[in-house]
Structure 1
């Protein structure tokens, strides 16, 4: 997702909650200028900034991303094994998933180009 598209999505999330940029900035522990620049799509946020914004909107970090299905995510989905009560198979590990996701972001030049994610296990 490019910064402009993310900015429009962030604006719609903020408006849906009837928040001003100033109130969101305060809740996110960021400056109102940062919120303004995010919504304008003029810079790519760090993971810390995204985490703050998600907290300010009372969302999980994944809630900041609109539901977009890209070929990279479809390939990733096909690698995951669904959990069922009868099968004792284990889905792909969180480390495998995060490595695949980071690789996809780097290839698509997404604004979410994290160099690494913390291990979840």
Structure 2
């Protein structure tokens, strides 16, 4: 699954509107891999983006530099999501880059295109 590089993922994001990224940290990554599931948070959402952020950019843009989310941009899942999965923009989507799924995402029901360390570098 981790055979794609940053350029290939960026191209895919431009061409395929069903492709989303889910950023996490090392612990979250291994938990998701083990369970085969990206669980919703306590508010019932899985947060996604279509922006190829570096770990530093994800920290600022997605996790608002919150100390409770330190390291959450270190790993990423690139997913082609099933068309039946409801994806909606967040209410704070002023930059147009954050979305949420309203249910947990089962990896086996969606196509995992990349799973591994964040391949994107700060520009």
After TM superposition, is the score higher than 0.5?
no
Which structure: larger Rg? 1
TM-score (norm 1): 0.25
Structure that is richer in strand per residue: 2
Q: Considering Cα pairs closer than 8 Å and 6+ residues apart, tell me whether 1 or 2 has the greater RCO.
A: 2
TM-score (norm 2): 0.25
Structure that is richer in helix per residue: 1
